[in-house]
Structure 1
Amino acid sequence: MHDLPTTPARAQSRFAVQIDGLTKRFGRIVAVSALDLTVQRGEVFGFLGPNGAGKSTTIRMMLGLIRPDAGRVTVLGTDAADVRRAHECLAYVPADVSLWPFLTGAEILELMANLGPPVDLEYRAELVERFALDLDRPAKAYSTGNRQKVAIVAAFATRAPLLILDEPTSGLDPLMEREFRRCIDEAKQRNQTVFLSSHQLAEVEAVCDRVAILRSGRLVEIDTIADLRRLRRTVVEVSFQHDEPRLADVPGVTDVDRIGDNRLRFNMSGPPSAALRALAAVEISSVAMREPNLEEIFLDYYGELSR
C-alpha cells in the first residue's frame, strides 16, 4: 500500500481542515455565514444539516471550486485557493456523479487514478468486487447508483490524506451502503481523514467521531456522536377503539396531537415502557412507530417553524 503523501508544510499542519470566518453570498442570500470549524487528522467528521443549510456550498469552497466572500479554508496546511496543490492530498465524491459517457468504468478509474493522489491498485480491485461494479460497460449505461460506485471506488482506492464526501451514498442500496461504511472504517484505520456531509442520521451515527450541525448557513453546534444521540426520538401513531389513552403526564412522551377521530400522534424519547403501559390501559387497534428524518429533528430541536 502507498504511504500517505505529505510535504513539510502539511506535516506541520495540526488540522486536516481548518475553516476560519467563511462567508459566501449569492445575491441577497447568505449561503454560509462566518463559519469556523476544525477537523483533526485521522478523524471521521460529519457535516449535518437540512437541505439548503449550506453544506454543499461549504464543500465547494473547501475544494476551491468557488471563492468565499470572506474567510479562509486550509486543507492540510494548504490554502484551498491553491487548487492544484490542495487537490494533491484529497479525494472527492459528489452527491450527483457525472462521468464521461463514452468511457467504460475501467477507463474512468484509470483516468481518475492518473489525475489524483496515488492509488492502491490491489485495494481498488477489491473494492470493484465488493461494490459489484461492472467495469466493461460505458458510463452512459450506468444507473445513478453505479455512477456513485465508480466515484466511491476511485476515492477510497487512493491514499489521499483527506476524503471529502458530499452525500456519497445517494442512489446506493442498503447492501452497498454497508460496504461504504466498511470503507470508512478502513480509511480510519489508515489514519485518513474523512469529511462526510450527509442528511442521513443513521449513516453519520454509524461512522463519525464528531459532527458539526449547520442551519441556514451558520454553525449551531459541534458534538460527539454520543451527544448527538440526544436528538433522537420516535414518532408514534396510534389508533384506539373507545377511550383515548392518557399520555399527558407519561415520562418521555411529548407533543401529543389528535390526527383523526380515533388517532393520536406523539413523540417518545427514552425507555418506552411507560408509554406502552399507558397504551395497554385502553383498547388499541394499531400502533406505528418511525424515526423522524433529520429535517424534522432539526425543525423540532431548534424550534424553527419554517424555512
Structure 2
Amino acid sequence: MKDTILELNNVRKSYGNFQALKGIDLTLNASEILGFIGPNGAGKTTTIKVILGMIKAQGTSRVFDLDSWKDAVEIHKYLSYVPGDVNLWPNLTGGEVIDFFLMLKKQKDTSYKHELIKRFDLDPTKKCKTYSKGNRQKVALIAALSSDVSLYIFDEPTSGLDPLMETLFQEEVRQLKDQGKSILLSSHILSEVEQLCDTINIIKEGKIIEKGNLQDMRHLSMSNIRVSTEKNISGLDQVDYIKDYRLIDGYHEFKIENHKIGEVIAQLSQYEIKSFESRLSTLEELFMGYYGEEH
C-alpha cells in the first residue's frame, strides 16, 4: 500500500449555480491524523462524501490509490466512517448494530468491542429508537473503533458526547495512530484538533485557505502579550503593530505578530518591566482570525 492513503486533486462540486467545492486539494499519509476544520457550510461534509463515494464530483479523489466513485465498495472494506448525526435502525439494539457493522467488515476478533462498550458506558441491549443522540453516537464510534481497518474518517464524531466521552475518544484516536492507522478528523472542537492532529487544513467557502502542521501555521497568528511595568505607559494603543490593546488591573494586554516581540520588549524596557508573558495563539484563536467576521 502506498504511503499516501488519501488524495484529492482539484475536486469541484456544484449544486445548480451554487459551487460547494472550488478545487479541493487534500492529502492524508499513512499513520497521520489530518484535521479538517471550517464553519458550517464551508464544505467539510461535502468533501468527506466525495471521499466516501457518496457524491460524484469533478476532479480526482483516490483512497488506497482507488477511485472514490468507481471503487467505493472495495474502498469501504478498509475504512470506518462516523458521521456527526448518526441514524440507526430503530428496532435493532445497539449491540446488534455494532455486530452488523463488524460483520460487514468481516471482523473475526470482536473482543475489543466489549471493552469499548464498557468504557463508553453504553447499554447495548436497548433498541436504537430509545437512544439519545449521544448514545447513537457511541454506537457508531464503538463500531468504528473496534474495526481493524487502515483508514478512519470522523465527521464531527463527538457531537452530543459529554466531555468525559470526548476525552475517551481522543485516547482511542491516539492509540489508532500508534498502531499505524490513518485518520481524517473533521471537528468543531478546535482543542481536539489541536491536541490530536499532525496536519491541519482550513476550509472556507469551498476552498482550502491554509494547510500545514500547527507550527507551520503559527505565522498566521499572533502572540498574546501581558506585561506590567514600574513606570506608567501611555500610547500603546496607538502603536500600529499592537492589536486589541487593553489595560486590566495594571497589566497591559495586547497581540502582536511574533516577529515583533523583540521590538516591543526594547520599547517597553524604558518603562522598567516587572513582568512579561508571551503566549502563542491557540488554534481556536487562529481559526477565529479567519472567521471572526462571520461570528
Name the TM-score, length of structure 1 as normaliser.
0.76
Deviation at 1:230, TM superposition (A): 5.4
For 1:240, the equivalent position in structure 2 comes to none
Residues 103 and 247 of structure 1, relative CA distance in 2, 3 Å threshold = farther
Residues 195 and 156 of structure 1, relative CA distance in 2, 3 Å threshold = same
C-alpha distance in structure 1 between counterparts of 2:60 and 2:106, whole Å: 23
Residues 295 and 224 of structure 1, relative CA distance in 2, 3 Å threshold = closer
Correspondence 1:33 to 2:22 = yes
For 1:297, the equivalent position in structure 2 comes to 289
Residues 251 and 116 of structure 1, relative CA distance in 2, 3 Å threshold = farther
C-alpha distance in structure 1 between counterparts of 2:236 and 2:125, whole Å: 59
Deviations 1:151-201 (A, max 9, x none): 111101111100011010111111000000001011001111000011221
Where 2:237 maps in the other structure, the secondary structure is: coil
Deviations 1:117-164 (A, max 9, x none): 536412111111111111111111111111111111110111110001
C-alpha distance in structure 2 between counterparts of 1:142 and 1:235, whole Å: 44
Residues 121 and 218 of structure 1, relative CA distance in 2, 3 Å threshold = same
Where 2:244 maps in the other structure, the secondary structure is: strand
Contact 1:117 1:158 in 2 (8 A): no
1:180 partner letter: F
Out of 18, 22, 37, the residue aligned to residue 48 of structure 1 is 37
Residues 123 and 78 of structure 1, relative CA distance in 2, 3 Å threshold = same
Residues 135 and 34 of structure 1, relative CA distance in 2, 3 Å threshold = same
For 2:181, the equivalent position in structure 1 comes to 192
95-104 or 108-117, which moves further after superposition?
108-117
1:79 partner letter: D
2:211 partner letter: I
Correspondence 1:162 to 2:151 = yes
C-alpha distance in structure 1 between counterparts of 2:218 and 2:120, whole Å: 30
Q: How does 1:261-280 map to 2 (within 5 A)?
A: 268=255
Correspondence 1:74 to 2:56 = no
Gaps of 5+ in 1: 1-10, 237-244, 258-265, 279-289
User: How many pairs were matched up?
Assistant: 267
Out of 87, 103, 122, the residue aligned to residue 98 of structure 1 is 87
Deviations 1:248-286 (A, max 9, x none): 1689851359xxxxxxxx864689xx9xxx9xxxxxxxx
Contact 2:98 2:143 in 1 (8 A): yes
Q: How does 1:38-187 map to 2 (within 5 A)?
A: 38-68=27-57, 70-81=58-69, 82-116=71-105, 118=107, 120-187=109-176
2:37 partner letter: L
Residues 125 and 35 of structure 1, relative CA distance in 2, 3 Å threshold = same
Calculate the aligned-residue CA RMSD, in Å.
3.3
For 1:262, the equivalent position in structure 2 comes to none
Contact 2:190 2:283 in 1 (8 A): no
Gaps of 5+ in 2: 226-233, 247-252, 266-270, 272-281
Residues 167 and 119 of structure 1, relative CA distance in 2, 3 Å threshold = farther
Residues 73 and 119 of structure 1, relative CA distance in 2, 3 Å threshold = farther
Residues 25 and 143 of structure 1, relative CA distance in 2, 3 Å threshold = same
2:291 partner letter: L
Contact 1:233 1:267 in 2 (8 A): no
C-alpha distance in structure 2 between counterparts of 1:135 and 1:99, whole Å: 13
C-alpha distance in structure 1 between counterparts of 2:285 and 2:106, whole Å: 36
Where 1:248 maps in the other structure, the secondary structure is: helix
C-alpha distance in structure 1 between counterparts of 2:152 and 2:104, whole Å: 15
Contact 2:214 2:283 in 1 (8 A): no
Q: Percent identity?
A: 37
